[in-house]
Amino acid sequence: MTTTHVVIYYSLFTLFAVPTFAVFEDTSPGARAAALGGAYTALGNDTWSLLYNPAGLARLLQPEIVTEYSQLFTGLSDRSNIYQYFAGVSVPSKSYGTAALGWKQLGFSGLYAEQTVSLGYGQWIMSHLAGGVAVKYLRHSFAVPSTFVDDNGNIQAGTPSLFSQNGSARSNMSVDLGLLYRISDRQHFGVSVQDMNEPNMALDAGDTDRVARTWHMGWAGESARKLSLTADLSAHQCSSCGTQDYATTGGIEKWWGSAPFSEFAARGALTIGNREFQQASTGFGYRWKYLGLDYAFVFNLTGIAIGTTSGTHRLSLSYRFGTNNKELLHMVKSRYPEEDEFPISVLKGPEDTSNGLAMELILPDQQGKIGNEGKDR
């Protein structure tokens, strides 16, 4: 009965990096974010912000579609196949922020599956502060076995009572919230809480199996030389099991090349947490005009480390739709209303690899003449 339920759970979730919880564990989707160790709370400026800090959606200036395929903990001795798909789209408006929709599915060798549908929105509340919210529909399901173990330890044909009485699937709703503060044009600070309401996903209405609430706090800085540094602190809180775990992540990203024709990025991160948790990640990115390709390799330094598994591999594709210069200029100015703070006269792009455009500032000098102040990325 319950034995089958427990076996399926632990076959899947003991594979994930410790510290861990049960259902809907955060697996750092998105190859760019994963290569940075999931330290994306303040750095995110694309559709993937929907899954990390929905306030980051406010930074998008162009419509974008993204997709990803991942293989988690490859090369296990039992040949387990743990995979994840994601597809998402974000659409910014000229004056009212950005809406995003995403679908994610995680599967485990045909025994277990999770589906998440997310609808999010991010908008600049003030010139330096953005807020975001994401509402999620969560569903997980189990493959129902044809045998069960009775109270005497004997294997019997039939459906375990857990599934016959409660079905093999459960769904619920969850909510994420986020804030993003723009310290300067190149520095951001973010805070987010995921699964704030800790939805109960237990099959049996009398049981409790809650999605753990997760808090994130992060800082990101971007230099004029295409170098980004990011740092995140995360805290997992499980009210039903009385467990708390913490992890700190530091990541770095460096771009080379000349937009919009071709740019290449290298990334890396290290995560350290309590209970001797250690994880490293690395990856690369390539941008050509509106098209992006990202890859991430994530491996544990403790627990199920390299040698036991060949690590987690993620491959993401993104495409940003073109917007003419006049429309982009209107969108940027509407989000930075203080002319003396963000005085844009000419907007060239889309060129930037992270934000989708490059802004060339043409500012008046002391004599009132127009001069080129360089590019703001």
Rounded to 5 degrees, φ, ψ at 366 are -65, -25
| Backbone φ, ψ for residue 54 (5° rounding) | -60, -15
> Rounded to an integer, what distance in angstroms lies between the CA atom of residue 37 and that of residue 20?
15
d(CA 339, CA 273): 44
Model's pTM, two decimal places? Answer: 0.80
- Given the candidates 2.40.160.60, 2.60.40.3880, 1.10.3720.10, 2.40.160.100, the CATH classification of the domain at 2-324 is 2.40.160.60
Q: To which residue do tokens 């250690």 refer?
A: 278
DSSP sequence for 253-287? EEEEEETTTEEEEEEEEEEEETTTEEEEEEEEEEE
pLDDT by residue, tens only, the chain of 377 residues: 344 333 444 444 444 433 343 566 777 889 999 999 999 999 999 999 999 999 999 999 899 999 999 998 888 777 788 899 999 999 998 778 999 999 999 998 888 999 999 999 999 999 899 999 999 999 999 988 888 787 777 788 888 888 888 888 999 999 999 999 999 989 999 999 999 999 998 988 888 888 889 999 999 999 988 999 999 999 987 655 567 889 999 999 999 987 667 899 999 999 999 888 899 999 999 999 889 999 999 998 887 767 678 889 999 999 998 754 555 555 555 555 444 444 444 343 333 334 444 444 443 444 444 343 333 33
Which residues are within 8 A (CB) of 340 and not within 5 positions of it... i.e. 6 or more apart?
Answer: none
Rg for the chain (alpha carbons), in Å? Answer: 23
H-helix or E-strand spanning residue 161: helix 161-166
Collapsing DSSP to helix, strand or coil, 21 comes out as coil
Report in angstroms the alpha-carbon separations of 261 from 185, 243, 374: 24, 49, 19
203-to-33, 256, 278 alpha-carbon distances in Å = 32, 50, 33
